[in-house]
Amino acid sequence: MGAMGAAEPLRSVLWVKQQRCAVSLDPARALLRWWRSPGPGAGDPGADACSVPVSEIITVEETDVNGKQYSSGKWQKMERPYAFTVHRVRRARRHRWRWAQVTFWCADEQVHQLWLQTLRELLEKLTSRPKHLLVFVNPGGKGHGRRVYERKVAPLFALASITAEIIVTERANHAKESLYELNIDKYDGIVCVGGDGMFSEVLHGLVGRTQRDAGVDQNHPRAALVPSPLRIGIIPAGSTDCVCYSTVGTNDAETSALHIILGDSLSMDVSSVHHGGTLLRYFVSLLGYGFYGDLIKDSEKKRWMGLVRYDFSGLKTFLSHHCYEGTVSFLPAQHAVGSPRDRKPCRAGCFVCRQSRQQLEEEQKRSLYGLESTEEVEEWKVICGQFLAINATNMSCACPRSPRGLSPAAHLGDGSSDLILIRKCSRFNFLRFLVRHTNQGDQFDFTFVEVYRVKKFQFVSKTAGDEDSSVEGRGKKRFGQLCSDHPPCSCAASSSSWNCDGEVLNSSAVEVRVHCQLVRLFARGIEEPPRREWHS
């Protein structure tokens, strides 16, 4: 058995279950390891060594072993065994995390106390972990959200000594209104239990409250929004859980609870949608016009059908095959590293997000000091035509039905959105495009599909351009000049609606801007599969 100084590794021979093990703790690397050591001394770790970073230890508890019976004669020699249990995260398949525990035993009280004290001191240094949370629970159908929280989340929060104030929502926008009224300074973060709609409520409440407190006018399309110091945690309990799936890699409640407990931070872009001088909504995943706009608008009329309404409305919208004419104007994201077709998905510790953020900050500094006006240097591009769909994605929009999402290489925090234009084509070709979302094929490899990485974009439908020139003057002039160069077409001039993260926006003329890393989540991001997983 060993001891340690202030920064020296700690190594002892302890018992795990009924096996004699060497256990080491390296404070410099913050790593706990143990391996079988049947002979005298600790020995060196072999291929069967188990390992867990201190950052993935939930808590350490002193374990009472009195009254337990042990069949092994070795245990009978311990007159009074001392034990402590390490509660930790264990990785399972498909990005799932699981709560696991391992108990270490010894006969020496001093060694036992040394291990407890050392591990607890290391855990206390992890100051990013939340202690007090505000939790909004959408009860959902038949109390599903409440059951998910009470059965899967609350016990883990209690284990991690996290206190929570629970608000069960009773109506639409209950969470948003509460965030405007409550004293949120006393919390370490906000947690929402529900689907993407519940997350959107919390997002709008937190972003709106932050801008109000900072004196920022959200209705101004060019306002520099202020990030909130509070992080948002998502406990999935909805139908698709797209945001959770795209940021963690699974829609598993236990996994999300463990991400919150460990206190990781994941910065994420938020896009604002304006019509004229008014903020319509924010979105983090999808803003869709045409196909997805028609789908969500039709499904809202059929809420009595339950979740099957999305399938029904999807089929109906596909068969309708409506095409819409309009003009898209966008500012390319020249600061962004990578492209929508580079097949490099956003993962934990993403290099693309980090580099894009740095380049965007440098660009903003140059603009601030008047060295150059970025919007004058970067030219807007304009595309007129007939479209089956116009989609803007801030993330991959992955979900269980579409594991790779609408834009597999979209990044969470690179200050850009992937703008996907699906031009008029046959039903068969459009079906081919939709099917690509469910397999490994390149869904942008069609002549009628274009994709761009953008910082801002504007859209005006033909009817909106004729009847309501509400986009800013510079945009109107640009649209008028370029569209007049195109011959008039004979397509129907009807307008669609926008699907803004599952909510319907009826204003077809919009101005969209990406706000780089405006919010932070309690998440690490989607991890690459490890070469080897350690199991106790």
Which CATH number fits the domain that encloses residue 83? 2.30.29.30
- As a whole number of angstroms, the distance between CA 313 and CA 299 comes to 6
Q: Are residues 19 and 160 in the same domain?
A: no
Q: At a CB cut-off of 8 Å and minimum separation 6, what does 425 contact?
A: 388, 433, 446, 448
* 100 has pLDDT over 70: yes
- Residue 140 and residue 259 in one domain: yes
**Per-position b or e across 42-79, b if 16+ CB within 10 A of its CB:** beebeeeebbbebbbbbbbeebeeeeeeeeeeeeeeee
Mean per-residue pLDDT over the chain, rounded: 86
Can you list the alpha helix ranges (DSSP code H) found in 160-266? 174-181, 196-214, 242-248, 253-262
Residue 311 pLDDT exceeds 70:
yes
The verdict on residue 165 lying in a domain is yes
pLDDT of residue 7 exceeding 70: no
476 in a domain, yes or no? no
Interior/surface letters 379-397, b for 16+ CB within 10 angstroms, e for the rest: ebebbbbbbbbbbbbbbbb
Residue 309 has pLDDT above 60, yes or no: yes
Q: Looking at the structure, tell me whether residues 279 and 174 fall in a common domain.
A: no
Residues 186 and 301 grouped into a single domain = no
- Taking the CA of residue 18 as centre, how many other CA atoms within 13 Å lie in the half-sphere pointing to its CB? 9
pLDDT at residue number 308: 81
Structure confidence at residue 238 (pLDDT): 83
* Mean pLDDT score, 45-74: 75
Distances (CA, A) of 129 to 60, 88, 259: 15, 14, 10
Judge contact between 336 and 353, C-beta under 8 A: no
Domain span holding position 202: 128-264
Q: Is residue 1 part of a domain?
A: no
Task: Tell me the percentage of the chain whose pLDDT exceeds 70.
Answer: 85
Q: Is residue 55 located within the same domain as residue 27?
A: yes
pLDDT of residue 72: 41
- Global pTM value: 0.87
Mean pLDDT of 384-412: 93
**pLDDT category of residue 466 using cuts at 50, 70 and 90:** low
- Given 228, 248, 264, the domain boundary residue is 264
Chain segment 475-534, per-residue pLDDT in tens: 443 433 334 333 344 344 478 999 999 899 998 899 999 999 999 999 999 998 765 444
Of residues 7 and 58, more confidence is placed in 58
Tell me the percentage of the chain whose pLDDT exceeds 90: 65
Q: What integer is the mean pLDDT of 251-273?
A: 96
DSSP 106-156: ES-HHHHHHHHHHHHHHHHT-TTS-SEEEEEE---GGGHHHHHIIIIIHHH
The residue-averaged pLDDT of 199-225 equals 96
Q: Look at residue 363 in the predicted model and tell me its pLDDT.
A: 76
Q: Which of 264, 295, 326 is the last residue of a domain?
A: 264
Question: Considering the domain boundaries, does residue 241 fall inside one?
Answer: yes
Stronger pLDDT, 491 or 27, i.e. the higher one: 27
Lowest mean pLDDT, pick from 29-38, 59-68, 400-409: 59-68
What pLDDT does residue 295 have?
93
Instruction: State which amino acid sits at residue 465.
Output: G
Mean pLDDT of 177-197: 96
Cβ–Cβ < 8 Å for 102, 16 = yes
pLDDT tier at 350, thresholds 50, 70, 90: very high
pLDDT score at 74? 44
pLDDT tens string 30-43: 999 999 887 666 56
In a domain, 481, yes or no: no
Give the domain CATH number at 228: 3.40.50.10330
Order of strands, edge to edge, in the sheet holding 50-53? 50-53, 31-36, 19-26, 10-16, 97-106, 82-91, 57-63
220 by Cβ neighbours in 10 Å (0-12 / 13-18 / 19+) ranks as middle
- Of 468 and 235, which is predicted with more confidence? 235
Q: Which two tokens stand for residue 197?
A: 């709609």
Give pLDDT, residue 520: 97
What is the SS3 assignment for 255?
helix
The verdict on whether 196 is a catalytic residue reads yes
**Which of the residues 44, 48, 185, 196 is marked catalytic?**
196
For residues 346 and 419, membership in a common domain is answered with: yes
**Backbone phi, then psi, for 273, in 5-degree steps?**
-120, 120
Q: What is the CATH number of the domain that holds 386?
A: 2.60.200.40
pLDDT at residue 236, as a whole number: 95
Helix runs in 281-396, H state only: 291-300, 308-320, 351-368, 374-377
Give the position of tokens 């979900």. Answer: 399
Residue 219 and residue 83 share a domain: no
Q: What is the DSSP letter of 487?
A: P
HSE, side-chain direction, 13 A CA sphere, residue 340: 26
Domain assignment present for 171 = yes
At 265 the pLDDT is 95
Query: What pLDDT sits at residue 358?
Result: 87
Q: Quote the pLDDT of residue 346.
A: 94
* Residue 79: predicted pLDDT: 53
Query: What distances in angstroms separate CA 332 from CA 66, 144, 357, 411, one per listed residue?
Result: 68, 43, 15, 15
Residue 409 banded pLDDT, cuts 50, 70, 90: very high
Number of domains in the chain: 3
Average pLDDT over residues 50-78: 71
Which residues lie closer than 8 Å to 156 by C-beta, 6 or more apart? 58, 99, 254, 257, 258, 261
- End of a domain among 209, 234, 264? 264
> pLDDT band at residue 85, thresholds of 50, 70 and 90?
very high
Q: Do 92 and 230 belong together in one domain? A: no
371-384: average pLDDT = 72
More confident residue, 112 or 64: 112
Does residue 469 or residue 382 have the better pLDDT? 382
In a domain? residue 150: yes
> Domain check: are 137 and 163 in the same one?
yes
Shared domain check, 141 and 114? no
Q: For residue 401, what pLDDT is reported?
A: 81
Confidence of residue 80 (pLDDT cuts 50, 70, 90): low
**What pLDDT score does 373 carry?**
52
pLDDT at 368 over 80: no
311 assigned to some structural domain: yes
**Are 389 and 500 in the same domain?**
yes
Question: According to the model, what pLDDT value does residue 474 have?
Answer: 41
Q: How far apart are CA 55 and CA 53, in angstroms?
A: 5
253 and 142 in a common domain: yes
